[in-house]
Each structure stands twice: as structure tokens, then as C-alpha cells.
Amino acid sequence: MEYFREKYLERTNVKWLAQFLTLSFVAMFLPFFIHQQIITGPIVNAILILALFFTGLKSALLIACLPSFMALAGGLLPSALAPAIPFIIIGNMIYVLAINFIPKKFYFSGALIASGLKFVFLLVSVNIVAAWFIKGNLIGAVGRMMGVEQFITAFLGACLAYPILKFFKNKSL
């Protein structure tokens, strides 16, 4: 037991672990409780930014993979969009990477750019996938869900994350 404590427990950053698990939990289970994209989307995008600043890039990229699967399981994402999940995950990763690489003093400009990149990627890729797999009038709903709403929810997520980051003064925003 002493070996285990020395090797693992003493090297564990409890603060990081608590932040990672909390943000992961909210990102995973929020789609089960709130079935409106205009509410869930900004919160999930805010969580991605908070994860980036509080737990680091690798952790934020990992968390970026979770919400899409849970949105599908929770009913927020129509089952017809299951083939689009990898693209949604990549869109979330593009959002996190763009926020990460833009200087923090340009937070809102960076948020606009990141939101725009996510929006363009999802609009193009998901509509291509939708054309292959989705028939009928559902394509219009997919276009709306993966179109401008993605830009709006991504930018609102950045706006939601900003006061939280300022409150904790993380990474000197």
C-alpha cells in the first residue's frame, strides 16, 4: 500500500482531477436533462473553454468528445445524425484549439474566430454527411441545427465562460 501511495496518490493533482471530473460530468450528463440546443450548446461550449483553461488542452480535447455521444443517447441529437458525431467532435476540437492558440488578450476576437471555424466546419461537413444519410424534410432541420445555431451557441458559450474565468483569474485573462 505504501508503494501505491508513493507512486500514484502523492503525484495526483487533486485540484486538477476534481476540475476535470466535474467538467466532464456536466458535459456528459447535461444533454440528458436539458433537451434544448440553445441552452445546452452554450453551456457545453463554456465547459470546453473552462476545461481548456482549468485542466489544459489535452483534457479539453478529451472532454470535447463526450457531449455528442451523450446528446445522441439523451435525445437532444436526432438518431439520424449519428453518422455526424465524428464531425461534431472534430468541430468541438477545432473550437478548443482555436481558443487555445489565439492570444488571451484577444479573448472575444478569438471566441468569434473559434465560433466561426466551428460553424463553417460543421455546416460543410455535416451537410455533406446529411446528404448521404438523411432523406426528406429532416435535412432542413439538420441544416438549422448544424448551421447558424452552432455559431451562436459557441459564441454564447465563450461569453458564459468569460466571467467565470475572470472570477477565478485563471491564466490571467
Q: Output the pTM of the full model.
A: 0.84
Q: Which of 91, 102, 82 is CA-nearest to residue 142? A: 82
How far, in Å, CA of 60 to CA of 76, rounded? 22
Say if residue 131's pLDDT is above 60.
Answer: yes
131-154 b/e with 16+ CB inside 10 Å = b?
eeebeeeeeeebeebbeebbbbbb
Q: What is the residue whose three cell numbers read 480535447?
A: 61
Tell whether 34 is covered by a domain: yes
At 73-120, the pLDDT tens digits run 777 677 777 777 888 899 999 999 999 999 888 999 999 999 999 999
CATH of the domain at 136: 1.10.1760
Number of domains in the chain: 1
Tell whether 6 is covered by a domain: no
CB atoms under 10 Å from CB of 114, counted, come to 26
Q: Which domain holds residue 34?
A: 15-172
Residue 47: what residue type?
I
Q: Which helix (H) or strand (E) holds 29?
A: helix 14-33
